[in-house]
Structure 1
Amino acid sequence: MKSRKNPLFNKSGLADPTAYHALKPMIKEDASVEKQSSEIIKIIKSIISLTGFELISRIQIRHKKSGKEFK
């Protein structure tokens, strides 16, 4: 699969397994952080709803280790 989103291939569309295996731990960690951020935002929204309040603006959080921001 030579997709632009497939990390096994470089920008030229050629397989680059060495780079992929080097980046694989970072890719996994990034996916984990994405999943955690999604889950925590859902939990916060549920707590807001269960306590009789409603959200009137976006929730914005930052992952301390990576500095990545989520909305």
Structure 2
Amino acid sequence: MDKLKGAKMNNPYFNSEGYADPTAYAGTKNIIKEESETERRASELIKVLKFIIRLAGFELIERVKIKDTKTGREFR
């Protein structure tokens, strides 16, 4: 039963008590989708940058840190 509760806690369709909350989900699903798309793009960009660095014969010695100009969110 705890496994099911844990799965619900990570699902935006359910509220913090584990009950289905379609109204809140409908209001936030586009935001969640946008955030995950931004995160995916940032991850892909960092992978490409690391590939280019290696291809050019260099080694990355510190973390890559980028900032989305639209949202201001930072990624490492």
RMSD across aligned positions (CA): 1.1
Identify the structure with the greater helix proportion: 2
Ranges in structure 2 where 5+ consecutive residues have no aligned partner: none
Distance 2:49 2:57 in 1: 13
1:56 paired residue number: 61
Deviation at 1:38, TM superposition (A): 0.5
Alignment of 1:1-71 (within 5 A): 2=5, 3-71=8-76
TM-score, normalised by the number of residues in structure 2: 0.87
With normalisation by structure 1, the TM-score equals 0.93
Please list every run of 5 or more consecutive structure 1 residues that lacks an aligned counterpart in the other structure. Answer: none
- Per-residue deviation, 1:10: 0.7
Q: Could you tell me how far apart the structure 2 residues matched to 1:64 and 1:9 are? A: 31
Runs of 4+ in 1 over 3 A off after TM superposition: none
